[in-house]
């Protein structure tokens, strides 16, 4: 879609990977932003081997996302509590999916800043 072409992303970032995964489909990004990565919604992040590789590739950017979240809320992000709530046991898997979802939400915000 034309609107999605307006979104710019630096090569080698999570945002750029999401835009590649979407292949021009805003619906893909919207689904990830609203429903998360559950049930295989996130292309290429189905298995632990996928999420581990994603985490390893984007570890620094994921750390920045966590710091931004802490800055915005004014308190540390409760990784352990959220992992328990979501019945997650693999930290890298949890952080990879979290980062992918957060960046998808940011892209949706860029597409429609009113929401």
Q: Give domain limits for the chain.
A: 2-111
**pLDDT for 4-15, tens place per residue?**
666 778 899 999
CA distance 72 to 83: 20
CA distance 33 to 44: 16
- Under a CB-based contact definition with an 8 Å cutoff, are residues 108 and 115 in contact? yes
Q: Considering the entire predicted model, what is its pTM? A: 0.90
**pLDDT for 76-114, tens place per residue?**
899 999 999 989 999 999 999 999 999 999 999 988 766
Tracing tokens 């994603």 back to the chain, one arrives at 54
To the nearest 10°, report the CA torsion of 73, 74, 79, 83: -40
């Amino acid at each position: 879609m034309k609107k999605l072409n307006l979104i710019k992303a630096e090569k080698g970032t999570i945002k750029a990977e999401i835009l590649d995964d979407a292949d021009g489909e805003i619906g893909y990004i919207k689904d990830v932003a609203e429903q998360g990565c559950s049930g295989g919604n996130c292309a290429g992040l189905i298995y632990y081997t996928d999420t581990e590789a994603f985490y390893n590739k984007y570890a620094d950017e994921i750390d920045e996302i966590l710091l931004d979240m802490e800055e915005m809320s004014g308190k540390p992000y409760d990784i352990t509590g959220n992992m328990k709530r979501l019945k997650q046991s693999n930290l890298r898997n949890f952080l990879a999916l979290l980062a992918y979802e957060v960046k998808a939400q940011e892209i949706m915000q860029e597409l429609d800043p009113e929401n």
